[in-house]
Amino acid sequence: MREWVAILLFAAVCGCETVVDLEVPGGYQSQLVVESKFSPDSLWRVEIGRSAPLKDAAMRNELMISDAMVVILGENNFRDTLRQIAHGVYQTAYGYQPERGTVYRIQVNVDGYPQTAASSQAPPLQSDLLKVERFAIDNSSATESYEIRLRLEDRTGKNYYRLVLFQVAPFCRHDEVLGSRRIGDDPSYTRDYSRLTFQSSSPSFRDYIEAVDDPTVPDFENEFWSAYFSDQLFESTTKEFAITFEADAFEAIGPHFMLVLTAFSDDLFVYERSVTLHDLFVGIPNIIQRNPVKVHTNIQNGLGIFAGYTADTYRFDEDGNEWKEDVLGIGGDELEPCKQQ
C-alpha cells in the first residue's frame, strides 16, 4: 500500500517538459572569445573565436577567427607572437612552454573588436607517489585491487586540486565522459586511456567541483571519478592521501596506470566551477538557482579563459614501476585494435 501511495504521489508531482518560445532581446554585440588553459607540459596554444546571437545557428568552426594577432608576454621580456596553425588555433612557433609559477599575459587584437587581455600562471606543485600495493579483494574474481599513497606539499594560500586515475586500455574512448584522457585543453591524448574510479576516505575529496568546501554536500559514496579538493583541511602542510581502486583486465596489455594530480590557478578553478554550474542550468531545471549562471572570465573586453594549471603525472605498473608512454606506444598505433566508436 505504501508503495502505491508513494508512486501515486511521485506521479502527481513529476515534471513535464515543453518547449516554449520566449522573446529574447535583440541587438546582441559580438565579443571576442579567448581560450587557453596552459600548463608547463604543453606548448603555448590559444583558440580565438567570437560569440554569436543566441538564435544564430553557427557551429563552433564558423565562430573561430583566423586573422587575430595573439601575443604572450612574460617575465624577463618574454614575448611570443603565436602563429595560426588551424582555423582559429594559434600556437608558438618556437616550441615555448609555460614555466611553473611565472605570470604570463596575453594580448589579442582582431579588427572590429576591442583589444582583449588577461593574465595568469601555472601554479607551483610538489608531490610524490609514495607507495603502490597490489592485493586481491576476493579469490573468486580475477580483478585485482591496488592501494596507492600520494604526498602533497601544500603551498601557502588557498589552493585547489584534482586527482584523476587512468589505465592504459587497448581501445579508443573518444568521449570524454567515457574516460578518455583530456586534461585541460590538451587535445593530444584522446585515446589509449580509460579512466578509473577510485575510493578514498579523505573528507576533503568531492566528486563534483561545485561541492568543494561545501560542508552541506558531503560525498556519500567515497567513490570518485575525479576527486576535486582544496587545502582547507591541510593548509600549508604536507598531506598524504590513500586511494584504492580496481583495475580492468585486458588480454593485450598488462595493468599500466597513470595518476594525475592537478593544481589549478584560481581563475581556472573558478572558471571550471562556473562552467559546471552553467551546465547544470542549461538543460536542467534548477530549483536552487533560478537565475542563469554567468561563466567566469578573466578576459578583459571579452569572454573565455586564459589560465594555467600544473599537473604531476605518475605512470606506474602493477608492481609500482614507472613506465613511459613512448615505450608502450601510447599515442601511436601499437595498441590496436583502436577503432572509432
Partner 1 sequence: MISFRSRSLGTHAFFDFLPKKQQKRSAERFPLIVPFFLEQKMTKIEGRNRGLMLGVLFCLQFGTVAAQSVTVSGYVEDMASRERILGASVYIPDLQIGTTTNQYGFYSVTAAPGSYTLSVSHIGYNPLWIRLELAGDTTLTLTLAPRIVGLEDIEVIADRETDLDDVQMSRHEISIEEIETLPVILGEIDIQKTLQLLPSVQSGIEGSSGLYVRGGRADQNLILLDGLPLYNPNHLFGFFSVFNSAAMKRVELIKGGFPARYGGRLSSVISYTMKEGNLKRFAGQGAIGLISSRAMLEGPIVKDRASFLVAGRRTYIDQLLRPFQGGRTRYGAAFYDLNLKANYIISERDRIYLSAYAGQDEFSYKKRSTPAGLGVNSQLNYALGWRNRLASLRWNRLMGDRLFANALIGVMQYRFSSDTYSVDENDSEIIKYDGLWYSEIVDWTAKIDFEYIPNSRHYMRMGAEGVLHRFNPGHTQTKLEESGRPPVNLLQAPTEVINSRETALYIEDEMQLYRALQVTTGIRVSSYAARSVRFASIEPRIGVNVRVAQRTALKSSYARSKQYVHLLTGGGTALPTDLWIPSMDRIPPQIGHQLAVGVLREFRDGRYEVSVEGYLKRMKGHLEYTLGSDRYRSAFLDWPDIVEIGTGTSRGAEIFIQRKRGRLTGWMGYTWARTTRRFASLNGGDPFPDGYDRRHDVSIVMQYQLSNTKQVSAVWVYGSGYPVWVPVGRYFSGFNHLLDLGPVNSARAPAYHRLDVNITFKKQRSWGDRTISIGLYNAYNHKNPMFIYPQNNTSCESLICFQQMSMLQLIPSISWQWKF
Sign of CA dihedral 274, 266, 193, 60: positive
Helix, strand or coil, per DSSP, at residue 134: strand
Contacts of 26 (CB under 8 A, 6+ apart): 53
Number of residues that bind partner 1 (CB under 8 A): 89
Whether 34 contacts 46, CB under 8 Å = yes
Residue 42 C-alpha cell reads as 604543453
Peptide bond into 255 cis (omega under 30): no
CA 39 to chain centre: 12
Scanning 124-132, 163-171, 226-234, 255-263 for contacts with partner 1 by CB under 8 A, the matching segment is: 226-234
Neighbours of 240 (CB within 10 A): 13
Name which of residues 199 to 218 contact partner 1 (CB under 8 A).
199-203, 210, 212-216, 218
Residue 281 exposed, middle or buried by CB count within 10 Å (0-12, 13-18, 19+): middle
Question: What's the min distance (Å) between Cβ of 17 and partner 1?
Answer: 5
Nearer to partner 1, 210 or 334 (CB): 210
Residues 6+ apart with CB under 8 A from 339: 171, 172
**Considering only residues 273-292, where is the footprint of partner 1 by CB under 8 A?**
273-275, 277-279, 281-292
25 is an interface residue for partner 1 by CB under 8 A: yes
Give the range of 1-9, 79-87, 103-111, 159-167 binding partner 1 by CB under 8 A.
1-9
Cα–Cα distance for residue pair 227/134, rounded to 1 Å: 21
Q: Which stretch binds partner 1 (CB under 8 A): 100-108, 122-130, 251-259, 294-302?
A: 294-302
In the numeric block, the cell 589560465 is attached to 307
In whole angstroms, give the CA distance from residue 104 to residue 98.
8
Per-residue x/- track, 99-138, partner 1 (CB under 8 A): ------------------------------------x-x-
Nearest distance, CB of residue 263 and partner 1, angstroms: 19
Nearer to partner 1, 6 or 130 (CB): 6
Residue 178 near partner 1 by CB under 8 A: no
Per rule CB under 8 A, is residue 153 in the interface with partner 1?
A: no
Which of 76, 220, 339, 340 lies at the binding interface for partner 1 (CB under 8 A)?
220
Smallest distance from partner 1 to CB 252, Å: 25
Task: Please list every residue from 31 through 90 that binds partner 1, using CB under 8 A.
Answer: 31, 33, 35, 37, 47, 49-57, 60, 63
Measured from the CB atom, the residue of 10 and 77 that comes closer to partner 1 is 10
- Selected binder of partner 1 within 85, 93, 130, 233 (CB under 8 A): 233
| 318 Cβ neighbours under 8 A, 6+ residues apart | 134, 144, 146, 247, 254, 255
How many other C-beta atoms lie within 10 A of the C-beta of residue 189? 16
Q: Which is nearer to partner 1, 30 or 313 (CB)?
A: 30
Considering the complex, what minimum distance in angstroms separates the CB of residue 216 from partner 1? Answer: 4
